[in-house]
């Protein structure tokens, strides 16, 4: 069965960086993109971008462009999302999901990133 | 403020039906497919509808999606207490070149 398993919760100070991983299993990693979505406490879903599973092409949301880097290790079927220059408003649950344009059919369990000084 | 507008909340009694609207523009809903997600409390979102009106395997036919012009609607019939959740619409916005979600609708089954 398809599974996306994310890394554990993180706490960072403002200005630091965080890297969240998303390990996929149960399907051919190269055949699907991985999309990252975040959700601030009590708020709605916010699309952050995607990385293609085959060629590593990326597309980032304008809001995080310049601070986010999405990568993928096809040898371990793992996608990574690194967010730098963290601010308090980056505190959120970060989700990875399989798919690229709306067909986000499988989701990771979420990784809570807390930014505070 | 989201590009896609959803009502903040809807409610209905068990067994009844409810519709959740999602209003956008020609650059998003008007020219791209819409999908819908259910988020139960404390859990990750779950795909309910994709391609405007298609249900992934395992999603009961109590859930339906439709689109007309620049608006989309999620319909849920035979409401159950287990349907209490937040529901989000989403689509690609060709002008923003970005995926956009609605602000979410909290469904209460009274």
Q: Does A103 touch chain B (CB under 8 A)?
A: yes
- B59 — contact with chain A (CB < 8 Å)? no
* Mean pLDDT, residues A94-113: 94
Task: Give whole-number Cα distances, A87 to A16, A44, A115, in Å.
Answer: 8, 18, 6
Are the CB atoms for B66 and B72 separated by under 8 Å? yes
pLDDT in tens, A36-80: 999 999 999 999 999 999 888 999 999 999 999 999 999 999 999
Are residues B102 and A44, on separate chains, in Cβ contact within 8 Å?
yes
> Mean pLDDT throughout B5-21?
97
pLDDT at residue A103, as a whole number: 85
Assign residue A85 a region (left: φ > 0; alpha: ψ between -120 and 50; beta: otherwise): left
Calculate the alpha carbon distances from B32 to A33, A102, B20, B51 in Å: 19, 10, 19, 9
Please check the confidence at residue A102 and state whether its pLDDT lies above 80: no
Between vectors from CA A46 to CA A26 and to CA A7, what angle results, nearest 5°?
45
Task: Give the integer Cα–Cα distance in Å for A55 and A86.
Answer: 28
The answer to whether residues A75 and A29 touch, using CB atoms and an 8 Å cutoff, is no
Confidence of residue A93 (pLDDT cuts 50, 70, 90): very high
Instruction: Dig out the tokens for B15 from the structure.
Output: 């067994």
The string of pLDDT tens digits covering residues B38-90 is 999 999 999 999 999 999 999 999 999 999 999 999 999 999 999 999 999 99
How far is the alpha carbon of A16 from chain B, nearest alpha carbon, in Å?
26
- Asked if the C-beta of A40 comes within 8 angstroms of chain B's C-beta atoms, the answer is no
DSSP state of A23: E
What average pLDDT does the structure give for chain A? Answer: 96
Nearest to B35 among A103, A107, A109 (CB): A103
Contact B33 A108 (CB under 8 A): no
């Amino acid at each position: 069965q398809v599974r996306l398993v994310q890394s554990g919760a993180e706490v960072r100070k403002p200005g630091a960086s965080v890297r969240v991983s998303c390990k996929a299993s149960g399907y051919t990693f190269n055949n699907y993109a991985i999309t990252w979505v975040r959700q601030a406490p009590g708020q709605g879903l916010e699309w952050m971008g995607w990385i293609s599973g085959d060629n590593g092409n990326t597309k980032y949301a304008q809001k995080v462009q310049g601070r986010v880097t999405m990568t993928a290790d096809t040898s371990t079927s793992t996608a990574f999302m690194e967010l730098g220059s963290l601010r308090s408003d980056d505190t959120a649950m970060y989700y990875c999901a399989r798919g690229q344009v709306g067909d986000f059919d499988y989701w990771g369990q979420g990784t809570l990133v807390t930014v505070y000084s | 403020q989201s590009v896609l507008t959803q009502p903040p909340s809807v409610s209905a009694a068990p067994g009844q039906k409810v519709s959740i609207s999602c209003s956008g523009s020609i650059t998003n809903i008007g020219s791209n497919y819409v999908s819908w997600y259910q988020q139960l409390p404390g859990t990750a979102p779950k795909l309910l509808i994709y391609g405007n009106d298609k249900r992934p395997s395992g999603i009961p036919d109590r859930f339906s999606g439709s689109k007309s012009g620049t608006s989309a609607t999620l319909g849920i019939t035979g409401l159950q207490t287990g349907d209490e959740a937040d529901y989000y619409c989403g689509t690609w916005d060709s002008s923003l070149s970005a995926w956009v979600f609605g602000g979410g609708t909290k469904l209460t089954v009274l």
